[in-house]
Structure 1
Amino acid sequence: MTASDLSAALHAGRQVFGTLIVSPSPRWPEVVRGCGLDFVFIDTEHIALDRAELSWMCQTYSALGLPPLVRIPAPDPYAATMVLDGGAAGVIAPYVETVEQVQALRGAVKLRPIKGQRLQQMLEGGTPEAELSNYMQQGAANRLLIVNIESVPAIAALDEILRVPGLDAVLIGPHDLSCSLGIPEQWDHPEFLAACETIFRKARAAGIGAGIHFWGDVTQQVRFLKLGASMLIHSADISLFQKHLRLELEAIRQTAGIAADASASTTALI
């Protein structure tokens, strides 16, 4: 899948699946490639990755047909241009709450390489020359713009945000959203589920993707798809490693008849 393929899928309402990649190991991309993903999510808001590592990851996953979507540390258009220069297929901007933020990001992602006063004029409705317009449109088709909707003010502004041209998807940050609602990590709370459904429904009605990054069990994630999500970022490489390592070690100990307490004390002596 290419960036333009992913954008088309999101606008068509087709369901796409990704995961959060934390590890910059050169052994990782080939393993990830065979897991049935449509894209990968690389987070620089919460994960410590330097610019060279990030660019290597983006270039490698793109070459393998897994468009890398990079979340930048803040809804900053300069940070957006930096990750795009490094090879990102798309930008995810965290904690967006206003139309002005989305417009600034649109300028950085969809109206490249225009900057300064000329860019501001275009964002205010100015029409570029036909040749320049065609050039920018061709580039914009290969760069995705996605914004995190993860607060009560963001939901209040959602109708306006969805009217900004060039937006490919909105993505729920469940932890921040639940905290903003005053019900931290209560994933089954009716108010949290209603907020998710509202975001999914409005985004899909606007013809763009509606996503969530979630790490809970399969049943919880299927519920989000049934509520209207078309973009699911499932867990993370580090979380999946931890989960399956723990489960398999527990299964080995149980099958071998090794008590958990005895194992813990043995480990402590090593």
Structure 2
Amino acid sequence: MQLPINKFKRALATGRPQYGLWLGLPDNSVAEIAAGAGFDWLLIDHEHAPFELRDIMGHLQAMAPYSVAPIVRPVEGSPALLKKLLDIGVQSFLVPMVDSAAQARALVTALRYPPEGKRGLGTSMARAAGWNRVPDYLHKANEEICLIVQVETTDAMTNLDEILAVEGVDGVFIGPSDLSASMGHIGDAGHPDVVAAISDALSRIKAAGKYAGLLCLDPKLVDNYIAQGADFVGIGVDTMILVQGMQRVLQQRPGETDTNPAPQAGY
């Protein structure tokens, strides 16, 4: 039994923009349907959606036969939670609300076995290690970890260069929704000040040689951010697609008026 390669990490290395979908629905069928849709990556949102650990593992299992790369956004970055996620097979992490280099260094430490880090050993109970069937898992696992830290406050933007200098951070993801709120433009991720801050951050991330990503539901802004060097962009959310699709079906009935339009607000 071989250690699975990190599909997301390999895809980023090609230099081709990677487009993904946010998953907030815990049913494994949603993950399987999305996995076959053609997205490059799927993000399991443990931060805001009602996922339990077994739900996340089920999503990973549903995606496994497909070429799509799974990413998990944990609700927070505690070593205890990250250890659980590592053991069920998560390799790519998008950790929210990272405001400092110290936070980033702590995440690097938590995600790696010694001597690079302090991840605890328990491979006989770990799906990631094939329950001890993966040869040399302890010596190879660190190589397949991808850590993306999420910067989404004015403090994070101030400290961005220090965060980028942390060894073991593979990339930085800009959170437009929370950033806009932190900048005083809550609910308006397309505000000129927010767009300018994102553009500045993209430039700094690329200059540091790290991968840059963000979530953007405006196709015009997506093109703009890709042109500025974004390597991966979330372009949809499963719950929003479901809501908007249902509303469209209702609106197509003969004589139907649009009394309850599908929500268009950001994530």
Question: Common fold, TM-score beyond 0.5?
Answer: yes
Corresponding residue number in structure 2 for 1:124 = none
Sort the Cα spacing of 1:93 and 1:259 in 2 relative to 1 into closer, same or farther, 3 A: closer
Residues in 2 aligned to 1:190 and 1:145: alpha-carbon distance in whole angstroms: 29
Equivalent residue letter for 1:235: G
Deviations 1:97-141 (A, max 9, x none): 11111111101223468538xxxxxxxxxxxxxxxxx97673222
1:70 aligns with 2:103: no
Larger-gyration structure (1/2): 1
Percent identity among equivalent residues?
29
Do structure 1's residue 115 and structure 2's residue 118 form an aligned pair? yes
Superimposed CA distance per residue, residues 159-185 of structure 1 (whole angstroms, 9 cap, x where no aligned partner): 111111121211111111011111222
CA contact (8 A) 1:97 1:149 kept: yes
Q: 1:71 to 1:146 in 2, by over 3 A?
A: same
Q: 1:185 to 1:82 in 2, by over 3 A?
A: same
The equivalent of 1:257 in structure 2 is 255
5 Å-filtered alignment, 1:188-199, equals 188-199=190-201
Q: Which residue of 2 aligns with 1:95?
A: 97
Aligned partners of 1:66 and 1:180: how far apart in 2?
33
AA matched with 1:52 = R
Per the alignment, residue 124 of structure 2 pairs with none
Aligned amino acid, residue 43 of structure 1: D
The one-letter code sitting in structure 2 at the alignment partner of 1:199 is A
Q: Does the residue aligned with 1:42 lie in a helix, a strand or coil?
A: strand
Stretches (4+) displaced over 4 A = 134-137
Helix, strand or coil for the counterpart of 1:17? strand
Decide whether the 8 Å contact of 2:28 with 2:55 is kept in 1: no
- Partners of 1:184 and 1:229 in 2: how far apart? 23
Find the aligned partners of 1:96 and 1:57 in 2 and give their Cα distance. 25
Q: Letter of the 1:249 partner, please give it.
A: L
* 1:1-270 aligned within 5 A: 4-11=6-13, 13-111=15-113, 114-115=117-118, 138-214=140-216, 216-250=217-251, 252-253=252-253, 256-259=254-257
Q: CA deviation at 1:225?
A: 1.9
- Structure 1 residue 29: Cα displacement: 3.3
Specify whether residues 65 and 135 from structure 1 end up closer, same or farther in structure 2 by C-alpha distance, changes over 3 A only: same
Secondary structure of residue in 2 paired with 1:97 = coil
Secondary structure at 1:70's aligned position in 2?
strand
Contact 2:211 2:231 in 1 (8 A): yes
Contact 1:11–1:209 at 8 Å: present in 2 too?
no
Alpha-carbon separation, structure 2, partners of 1:257 and 1:43: 38
> Contact 2:16/2:231 (CA < 8 Å) preserved in 1?
yes
Q: Alignment partner of 1:186: what SS?
A: coil
Question: How far off its partner does 1:147 sit?
Answer: 0.7
Scaled by the length of structure 1, the TM-score of the pair is 0.80
Letter in 2 for 1:84: L
Relative to structure 1, the CA distance from residue 79 to residue 188 in structure 2 (aligned partners, 3 Å threshold; closer, same or farther) is same
Q: Any idea what SS the aligned residue of 1:147 has?
A: strand
Distance of 1:174 and 1:112 partners within structure 2:
35
Flag the 1:157–1:259 CA change in 2: closer, same or farther, 3 A: closer
Whether the 8 Å CA contact 2:212–2:230 is kept in 1: the answer is: yes
Cα deviation for residue 11 of structure 1 reads 4.5
Q: Which amino acid aligns with 1:178?
A: S
Is the 8 Å Cα contact of residues 104 and 163 (structure 2) preserved in structure 1? yes
Mapped partners of 1:32, 1:207: distance in 2 = 31
Q: Per-residue deviation at 1:23? A: 2.1
Instruction: State the TM-score, normalizing by the size of structure 2.
Output: 0.80
| Unaligned 5+ runs, structure 1 | 117-133, 264-270
Residue by residue over 1:4-41, the C-alpha shift from the partner in whole angstroms, topping out at 9 and shown as x without a partner, is: 34213335543111111122323223321222111110
Summarize the Cα distance change of 1:145–1:13 in structure 2 as closer, same or farther, 3 Å threshold. Answer: same
CA contact (8 A) 2:28 2:62 kept: no
Contact 2:111–2:118 under 8 Å retained in 1: no
Question: Higher helix proportion, which one?
Answer: 1
Q: Output the aligned Cα RMSD.
A: 2.4
* Cα distance change on mapping 1:169 and 1:248 into 2, 3 Å: same
Q: Per-residue CA shift, 1:206-264, capped at 9, x if unaligned?
A: 222111113x33223223223332111122111111112212321x22xx234457x9x
Is 1:212–1:231's contact at 8 Å kept on the other side of the alignment?
yes
